[in-house]
Structure 1
Amino acid sequence: MEYIVRTNGLTKKVKDKVLVSNVNLHIKKGEIYGFLGQNGAGKTTIMKMLTGLISPTAGEIALFNQKLTETSKSSLKRVGSIIEYPIFFEHLTAMENLHLHCKYLGYYDQKAIKQALDMVHLTGVEGKIVKEFSLGMKQRLGIVRAIITKPELIILDEPTNGLDPIGIKDMRDLIRMLNSEYGITFLLSSHILGEIEQVADRIGVIKDGKLVNEVTLADISKQRTEYIEIVTKDVQKSVFVLDSELQISNVKIIKDNRIRIYDLTLPQSEISKTLFLHDIEIEEIQKHISTLEDYFYQQIHGGGKVG
Structure 2
Amino acid sequence: MNDYVLRTNHLSKRYKNQFALDNIDLTIKKGSIYGFIGQNGAGKSTLIRVVTGLAYPTSGSIELFGKSSEQELIQARKRIGTIIEGPALYPQMTAAENLETHRLLKGIPGKDCVENMLALVGLQGAGKKKAKNFSLGMKQRLGLGIALLGDPEFLILDEPINGLDPMGVVEIRELLKKLNQEYGITILISSHILSELHLLATHYGIIHKGELLEQLTVKELNERCQQYIHVKVDHPDKAAAIFETKLGTTQYEVMPEGTIKLFDYLDAPGRVSKTLADEGLIIEQFMPMGEDLETYFSNRIGGVQHG
| TM-score under structure 1 length normalisation | 0.75
1:47 counterpart letter in structure 2: I
Quick one: distance in 2 between partners of 1:126 and 1:48? 34
Does the residue aligned with 1:176 lie in a helix, a strand or coil?
helix
Matches within 5 A, 1:68-79: 69=70, 72-79=73-80
CA contact (8 A) 1:68 1:75 kept: no
Whether the 8 Å contact between 1:120 and 1:170 is mirrored in structure 2 is no
**Partner SS, residue 102 of structure 1:** helix
Contact 1:152 1:184 in 2 (8 A): yes
Deviation at 1:267, TM superposition (A): 6.3
Task: Tell me if 1:8 matches 2:9.
Answer: yes
Q: Which residue of 2 aligns with 1:33?
A: 34
Quote the residue 1:106 is aligned against. 107
Give the aligned partner of residue 256 of structure 2: 265
Equivalence for 1:53: 54
Cα distance in 2 between the residues matched to 1:122 and 1:67: 37
Query: What percent identity do the matched residue pairs reach?
Result: 43
Write the mapping of 1:198-213 to structure 2, written as runs, cut at 5 A: 198-213=199-214
**1:35 touches 1:187 (CA, 8 Å); kept in 2?**
yes
Q: Is the 8 A contact 2:94 2:129 kept in 1?
A: yes
Instruction: Provide the aligned C-alpha RMSD in A.
Output: 2.6
What CA deviation, in whole Å up to 9, does each residue of 1:208-254 have, x standing for no partner? Answer: 01100000011111223379xxxxxxxxxxxxxxxxxxxxxxxxxxx
Deviations 1:28-67 (A, max 9, x none): 0111111011111010111111111111121111111111
Residue equivalent to 1:21: 22
SS in 2 for 1:20: strand
1:93/1:127 contact within 8 Å kept: yes
- State the match for 2:231 in structure 1: none
What amino acid maps onto 1:220 in structure 2? L
Going from structure 1 to structure 2, the CA distance change for 1:132 and 1:70 (only over 3 Å counts) comes to farther
Q: Is the 8 A contact 2:80 2:155 kept in 1?
A: yes
Letter in 1 for 2:24: V
Partners of 1:190 and 1:196 within 8 A in 2: yes
Cα displacement string for residues 50-91 of structure 1 (whole angstroms, at most 9, x for unaligned residues): 111111121111111111637851111100010121122333
In the TM superposition, what is the alpha-carbon distance from 1:180 to its structure 2 partner? 1.2
CA separation of 1:126 and 1:56: change in aligned 2, threshold 3 A: farther
Describe the shift of the 1:178–1:44 C-alpha distance in structure 2 as closer, same or farther (beyond 3 A).
Answer: same
Query: Once the two structures are superposed, what CA deviation does each residue of 1:271-303 show, in whole Å capped at 9, x if it has no partner?
Result: xxxxxxxxxxxxxxxx94111122212221114
- Kindly tell me: are residues 302 and 194 of structure 1, through their superposed partners in 2, closer, same or farther at Cα, counting changes over 3 Å? same
**Residue 265 of structure 1: how far off its partner (Å):** 2.8
Pick closer, same or farther for the CA change 1:214–1:96 going to 2, 3 Å.
same
Q: Report the number of matched residues.
A: 253
Q: Deviations for 1:175-203, whole angstroms, at most 9, x for unmatched residues?
A: 11111111110000111111111111110
- Secondary structure of the corresponding residue to residue 70 of structure 2: coil
Give me the whole-angstrom Cα distance separating, in 1, the residues matched to 2:227 and 2:51.
38
Report the residue type matching 1:49 in the other structure: V
**1:264, 1:303 → 2: CA distance?**
31
Aligned residue type for 1:194: S
CA distance in 2, matches of 1:196, 1:76: 25
After TM superposition, the structure 1 stretch with the greater mean CA deviation from structure 2, 203-212 or 93-102, is 93-102
Letter in 1 for 2:168: G
189 and 72 in structure 1: CA distance in 2 versus 1, 3 angstrom threshold: closer
SS in 1 for 2:199: helix
Distance in structure 2 (CA, Å) of the matches to 1:68 and 1:126:
44
**TM-score, structure 2 length as denominator?**
0.75
Question: Is the CA contact (8 Å cut-off) linking 2:11 and 2:59 kept in structure 1?
Answer: yes
Residues in 2 aligned to 1:218 and 1:148: alpha-carbon distance in whole angstroms: 33
2:244 is aligned to none
